[in-house]
Structure 1
Amino acid sequence: MGKRILLLAGVLALAGGAAYAVHARSGPEAPPARPVAVATAEVVKTDLSDYWSESGTVGFRGQRTLRGVQAGVLTWLPRPGRTISRGGTLYRVGDRPVALFYGSSPMFRDIGTVGMVGRDVKVLAANLRALGYRIGPQPSPGTTVTTVTTVTTGVPTVVTAQDGVFTAALQAAVKRWQAAIGVRPATGILARGDVLVLPGAVRVGAAAAQLGDDATGNLMAVSDQAKAVTVVIDAGRADDLKAGQKVRITLPDSTAAGGTISSVSSNIQADAEGADGPKVRVVVAVDDASAIKNVSSADVDVRFTGTTRRNVLAVPVGALLALRGGGYGVQVSGGALTAVKVGLFADGMVQIDGTGIAAGTRVVTTS
C-alpha cells in the first residue's frame, strides 16, 4: 500500500511539471528584435565656401591728423565730437577763421588777381556756388584768358575742363563770403591758409595742440562721419579679398550684421613685434549703419569668405567613412560602400565626387 502511494505521488508530480511546462509554452511570445535605425542625408548640389574669422575694431572712417598751414597763434579749436561741414570753421589763427571746403585739390597759393586760372580756382568757385553765393558764369574750356593787374598784363592761358577762372564776379563773391564769416577787411583775396580742402565733412576728434600754440603744427584728429570696422590681417590672406566682397560681422551683443569690404591696403605693415609676419589693413563698411550707431571703439568678429566652389555635390561631413586602404567613402542607403574623392570642407558640409553619386542619392550619416 505504501509503495502505491509513493508511485502515485511521483506520477502526480510529473504530471504537474508537464502541465506547468505546457502552460509556460502557451504564454505570449517575446517581441522580435527591432532593426537598428540609421540616419541618412541627401547628396545635394550647392555652392560651398570656406570661411575664416578675424578680430576687428569699430571706429570712425578716415581717421587722420589735421595739420595747419597758416603761420600764427592758434586761438580757437572745435570741441571733440563736433561735425564740421562745408563752409564751417575748422579752427582760428589770430582770430581769423579757417574754413572747410570740399574737393580733391588743395589750395596752394593766394588767389586774388582777376584772370588767374587753375584747379584751385575751380575748387573755390564750386564751394562758393554750393554755399549759395552768385559767382557769375565761368569761361568754357578752350577759352583764352589773360591775367590782368594794375601794372602789367599776363600771359594768355587756355582754360581746360579741370580749370576755374578767377573772374571779377567770383572775386566779388569772395568779398561777400569773407564779410559773412567775419573776415576783416573783406578784400576779395583768398590767402593760402584761409581754407583747408578735404573730401567732405569731418568729425572732430582729440586735440593735438593747445590754444596759443603755433598753428602750423598738428592741430587735431579728424575723421569721416561714418563708422566702419578696421581689421588687420596677415598679408598672405590679402589675395583672397577685394573691395565689394561681402562679410559677416558679429557685434559685442552677439547679433550679426552684414558688411562690405571698402578697401584692402596695398601698404604692407610690419608687425609690431616682428613675430607674426607682414600685415595689411582691411576696412569694412557696415551695410546697416544703425547696427553700430551706439558701438564705439569695440572689438567685433569679422568672418571673411575664402575659396568658393559652385554647383558641386556635397554631403554632411558625418557621412564620410575612412577606408582601410586610405581615402574616404560613403555608404549609399540600401547599397554599397562607395569610394569618393573629397574636395572643399565648409559649414559642416564636404564636397564629394564618386561613381554613382548624384544629387538626390541618400547616404548614411551620423545622427
Structure 2
Amino acid sequence: MSLVVLAGITVASATAIASTGVLGGDGDSSTPAAVSGPAKTAKVQRATLVRTETVDGSLGYGDATSVQATPAAAGQESAQGGQAAQSSGSGIITWLPDAGDVITRGKTVYNVDERQVPLLYGSTPLYRTLDIGSAGKDVRLLEQNLAALGYKGFTVDAEYTSGTAEAVKDWQDDLGRDETGTVQPADAVVATGERRVANVSAALGAAPTGEILAWTAGRRIISVNLEVQYEDLVVKGTKATVKLPDGTTVEAEVTDVGTAAVAPSDSGSGGGMSSDSSDAKPEDATLPVEIEVKDQKKLGRYQAAPVDVTLSADTRENVLVVPVNALVALREGGYGLEVVEKTGTRYVAVKLGMFADGRVEVSGPDVTEGTVVGVPK
C-alpha cells in the first residue's frame, strides 16, 4: 500500500484582534498596539513551491509478456518448396537466447532453420504479406525500422514501393534469408522497444509452436500502485526522485499511467491484502504507474528492490509564501497573518494556496514580499 505524505496545517487561534480594528473590534486607533510584538517572526518571501508525494515503488523489469510463434498468413510461401517459411509449426528452432539477454532493434529473437527472426520496434504486429503495392501502418512500421537500421533507397511512408523491396532484399541478405523482397508475418517479432528475456519456453530442435519465450522491458523501471484518489497528480512526464535501498537518489520520470484501476484483491498476495474483496472499498483501488530512470547506470547493480518514489505533483512559481505555522485562525472564519509594524501588530486575512515543505502560498492586499509576520509558538 502506498505511503502518501501530505502537508498538515497547524495554526494558532487569533482570539483577539489588534487595536487597529482592521478585521473587526472597536477600531479605536488612538490606542497603539503593543510594540513588543511576537517573540518570533518571519518575512513573506517570493518563491517556487513544489508539492511532492512520496509513495512505495518496486524496481524491476515489469511484467513479462509471451512471444508466440507466428501462424502462416494466407498464401504465405517460401522461395523454396512452396511451403510456409518460419511460421507456427514449420521448420526447426536452431537458436534461442538465454534468460537475461537484452534484445534491441534488428537483433535476433530466435532462429528457425538457421534464419534469423529479428525484433522490430512498433505497436502494430505484422499480420499479412507485405509486397510492392501494399499500403498501411504496418508498411510504415517496417520502413521506419529499416531506416533506423541504416537501409536506404526509399521514403518512410505508408507505401511499399520498389525502393522498399530493394531495401528489404538487403535486409534479408544480412539476416541470411532468401532475398525475396517481400515480408511475411513470421519474418520478425514486433515490440514497443528493447526487451529482456525473462525465460525461454521452446527447445532447440523443436518446431516453432506456441510460446517461444517470455520477455520484459529491456530497461529497469519502477512500478507504483498509486491510490486512485491521487491519479490527478501524475501524467506522462511528471518528474520523480527515486530513493534506492542504499539511500542514494536518482532522477526519474513517469512514462506510463494505466487507465484501468486494480482492486486491492487483484494486487496479488505480495501486497499484504486479503483476497476477500468483500471489505474492499473503491478508494482502496490502485492505478498502475511506470517510472523510468534514464541514466540506468545510476541504479547500480540493483535488479529488483523496493524503493521510495517522490513525485513532483504540482508546482507554483513566483508566489508569496510564509511558514505554515505563521497562519492564525480568525474568529470570523478563514486564516490570517499577524503583520508586524513599527507601531505594533495587526491581523490581516489572507487567501491560502499550495502547501509544500512546511510553507504555504498566501495572497491578499495586505501582504507583499518582505512583510514581517509573527510566528506563534
What TM-score, normalized to structure 2? 0.66
Shift of 1:41: 0.9
Q: Secondary structure at the match of 2:106?
A: coil
Q: How is 1:104-253 mapped onto 2 (pairs within 5 angstroms)?
A: 104-111=123-130, 115-119=132-136, 120=138, 127=145, 131=149, 137-138=153-154, 161-165=157-161, 167=162, 178=172, 180-183=174-177, 190-211=183-204, 215-253=208-246
Superposition map of 1:221-300 within 5 A: 221-271=214-264, 272=266, 273=275, 274=277, 275=280, 277=282, 278-300=285-307
Identify if the C-alpha distance between structure 1 residues 305 and 175 changes in structure 2 by more than 3 Å, giving closer, same or farther. closer
Query: What SS is found at the alignment partner of 2:127?
Result: coil
- 1:68 corresponds in structure 2 to 69
Number of the residue aligned with 1:11: none
CA–CA separation in structure 2 for the residues paired with 1:307 and 1:189: 51
SS at match of 2:236: coil
C-alpha deviation, 1:303, in angstroms:
1.9
Instruction: Read off the aligned partner of 1:284 and give its amino acid letter.
Output: I
* Counterpart-to-counterpart distance in 2, 1:270 and 1:234: 10
> Does residue 338 of structure 1 match 2:347?
yes
Structure 2 Cα separation of the partners of residues 50 and 172 of structure 1: 55
Letter in 2 for 1:347: D
Distance 1:129 1:288 in 2: 26
Cross-structure match for 1:4: none
Change (3 A) 1:121 1:76: same
Candidates 69, 91, 110, aligned match of 1:91: 110
Task: Work out whether residues 317 and 348 of structure 1, in 8 Å CA contact, stay in contact via their aligned partners in 2.
Answer: yes
Match for 1:39: what amino acid?
K
Which of the numbers 351, 357, 362 marks the counterpart of 2:367? 357
Unaligned runs of 5+ in 1: 1-34, 142-160
Q: Secondary structure at the match of 1:238?
A: helix
More displaced 10-residue stretch of structure 1: 300-309 or 260-269: 300-309
Q: Quick one: which amino acid aligns to residue 88 of structure 1?
A: K
How far did 1:309 drift? Answer: 4.4
Listed one character per residue, the Cα deviations across residues 53-96 of structure 1 (whole Å, up to 9, x for unaligned) are: 21112233685332221322545320122222343221134554
AA in 2 matched with 1:55: D
Cα 1:216–1:238 change in 2 (3 A) is farther
Query: Which amino acid in the other structure matches residue 95 of structure 2?
Result: W
Q: Shift in Å at residue 42 of structure 1?
A: 0.6
What's the Cα RMSD here?
3.7
Q: Cα–Cα, structure 1 residues 311 and 215, in superposed 2: closer, same or farther, change >3 Å?
A: same
> C-alpha displacement at 1:249, in angstroms?
2.3
Which of structures 1 and 2 has the bigger CA Rg?
1
2:201–2:211 Cα contact (<8 Å) kept: yes
- Partner Cα distance (1:318, 1:95) in 2: 72
Distance 1:215 1:319, change over 3 A: same
Q: For residue 249 of structure 1, what is the amino acid of its counterpart?
A: V
Distance 1:254 1:342, change over 3 A: farther
**How many angstroms does 1:348 deviate by?**
0.8
Matching of residue 77 in structure 1 with residue 70 in structure 2 = no
Unaligned runs of 5+ in 2: 1-35, 71-86, 267-274
* Distance in 1 between residues matched to 2:199 and 2:58, nearest whole Å: 18
Cα offset, 1:242, TM superposition: 1.8
- Deviation, 1:363, is 2.1
Aligned with 1:332: secondary structure?
Answer: strand
- Following superposition, the deviation at residue 362 of structure 1 comes to 1.5
Q: TM-score if structure 1 supplies the norm length?
A: 0.67
Contact 1:314 1:349 in 2 (8 A): yes
Residue range with higher mean Cα deviation, 270-279 or 231-240:
270-279
Distance, in Å, in 1 between the alignment partners of 2:345 and 2:140 is: 77
Once residues 256 and 330 of structure 1 are traced to their aligned partners in structure 2, the CA distance between those partners, rounded to angstroms, is 37
What amino acid is the match of 2:297? S
Per the alignment, do residues 308 and 68 of structure 1 end up closer, same or farther by CA in structure 2, a change over 3 Å counting? same
1:55 corresponding residue in structure 2: 56
Whole-angstrom distance in 1 between the partners of 2:334 and 2:106: 69
Q: What letter corresponds to residue 232 of structure 1 in structure 2? A: N
Larger displacement relative to structure 2 (296-305 or 265-274): 265-274
2:263 alignment partner, SS class? coil
How many pairs does the alignment contain? 306
State the Cα distance separating 1:330 from its structure 2 match.
3.6
- Give the Cα–Cα distance (whole angstroms) in 2 for the partners of residues 202 and 235 of structure 1: 29
